[in-house]
Amino acid sequence: MPQYDYDLIVIGAGSGGVRAARLASKSGAKVAIIEQVQVGGTCVLRGCVPKKFLVYASEYSQAFRDAKGFGWTVDWARFDWPTLRDAVQNEVNRLSGLYIKNLNAANVEIIEDRAMLDGPNSVRLTREGKSLSAARILIATGGHTYRPEETLGQELGITSSDAFLLEELPARVVIAGGGFIALEFATIFSGLGVDTTVVYRGERVLRGFDHDLRAHVQADLERTGVKILCGSTISEIAALPGNRKLVSLSNSMRIEADQVLWAVGRTPNTAGLGLEEAGVKLSPRGAVVVDEYSRTNVPSIWAVGDVTDRINLTPVAIREAVAFVESEFHERPTAFDHADVASAVFSRPPVGAVGLTEEEARGKGHRLTIYRSVFRPMKNILAGNEQRMLMKLVVDSKTDRVLGVHIAGADAPEMIQLAAIAVKAGLTKAQWDMTCAVHPTAAEELVLMGEPVSHDNEAPA
């Protein structure tokens, strides 16, 4: 057995990389983690965590409006962007510090440098100019926001990473894209009083989610003043005096804006890592190709998280990392099961979804019984708030198993975490209904949907 400097070198100190490094080190392995920017990764530094704080901030405008119906007068409310921005950055930096503390406590060596593979067991530190060897190497470099380089003036737009650090809140923003990031930032900006336009190439936002849920979310965002232009893309951004931008669309429309946000997807961080030179296979999208144990085609190299472009969510990266350590450092081969992973979009209304959409279930040949409930939660009635909640259960007609749960409305992300347990456990609709309601809540509707809206008796043709 050759002698290596480390048992494990992890490249990238985000959620997946940090978890793998800490757990492997706790098992007695000698571990180093290499990070080129700041410990924490996308989730902590420029993703989930700061985004959620901005979402919380954006919810106050509606809360102040709702308050009137409950007897409150809030006519002094003012919003100050720098206060929020700086508070969020302070918290993010505190969390990054905690990550470092935890890595130190676990005896992981943190190396601040840019890493590049220079062999199946060797990593080059490009700033320091020296190479380190390891028995195993874990690629956990995440992804970055994609920009359509071919679009004229694309550099005048910002990405979600820049949005957290804006000098000032724009008066008008145009957001390109109709996915997670586009809708979350549309929610944030419009909630903070910014005139917000979403430009989306498809027919309806949130492709991949259930069709009823997509329609509900789009209609509600529009009801609250977000303009959504479907079937169009940004063809050019031109600079106007005073930092203004003129945005030309493929449908010949022109919109003036103060900021343009690219939210058109993310790309795995594999460029310049020496992966191809080390013989690691990449997908056409540039993701590291791995098997269910997160093994690449090179026996000493593994990859977890967004760089593998499987399900690009923090908890998934963490579970992949845990499975990697179980398999490689505890001799317990473990593959993380990617089925029935719940997801949440922190839009207005927020979304929670788990399992199959109606379309996916039909595509898999299931006969379906569909339960759907659209109602105004009791808080909104007194508030005079027109926002309605949507709950939908996709049930297999033959087995009665609940295949998918789709919720849009207040607290949907919190509810879906619990519903996901039942879906993952394969419970039937009858078992859901055996569960007594909690009253008065919105979530009780999940166990009270008695009458289906549709029921397939025959197998699909």
Chain residues binding ligand NDP by CB under 6 A are 148, 176-182, 184, 200-202, 207, 233, 263-266, 312-313, 343-346
Q: For residues 203 and 444, which CB has a smaller minimum distance to ligand NDP in the complex?
A: 203
Q: For residues 69 and 148, which CB has a smaller minimum distance to ligand NDP in the complex?
A: 148
Please indicate whether residue 439 is annotated as part of the active site: yes
- Where helices occur in 15-147 by DSSP H, the ranges are 15-26, 41-46, 48-67, 81-105
Q: How far is the CB of 208 from ligand NDP (least distance, A)?
A: 7
Q: Which of 330, 338, 366, 439 is catalytic?
A: 439
Q: How far is the CB of 205 from ligand NDP (least distance, A)?
A: 7
Q: How far is the CB of 6 from ligand NDP (least distance, A)?
A: 30
Q: How far is the CB of 338 from ligand NDP (least distance, A)?
A: 12
Q: For residues 179 and 268, which CB has a smaller minimum distance to ligand NDP in the complex?
A: 179
Run of H or E residues at 303: strand 301-303
Maximum CA extent, the chain? 75
Q: For residues 294 and 343, which CB has a smaller minimum distance to ligand NDP in the complex?
A: 343
Q: For residues 22 and 46, which CB has a smaller minimum distance to ligand NDP in the complex?
A: 46
Name beta bridge partners: 256: 246
Number of alpha helices (DSSP H) and beta strands (DSSP E) in the chain = 12, 23
Q: Where are the beta strands (DSSP E) in 84-221?
A: 109-112, 115-119, 122-125, 130-139, 143-145, 158-159, 172-176, 195-200
Q: How far is the CB of 201 from ligand NDP (least distance, A)?
A: 4
Chain centroid offset of residue 378 CA: 29
The residue at minimum Cβ distance from ligand NDP is: 179
Run of H or E residues at 38: none
DSSP letter, residue 208 = T
Q: Three-state SS string across 343-400, please?
A: EEECCCCCEEEEECCHHHHHHCCCCEEEEEEEECCHHHHHHCCCCCEEEEEEEECCCC
Please name the residues in contact with 107: beta carbons below 8 A apart, sequence gap of 6 or more.
25, 31
With tokens 């005096």, the residue in question is: 241
Q: For residues 266 and 406, which CB has a smaller minimum distance to ligand NDP in the complex?
A: 266
Residue pair 403/423 in contact by the 8 Å Cβ criterion: yes
Q: How far is the CB of 250 from ligand NDP (least distance, A)?
A: 9
Q: Would you please indicate which residues are annotated as catalytic (active-site) residues? A: 439
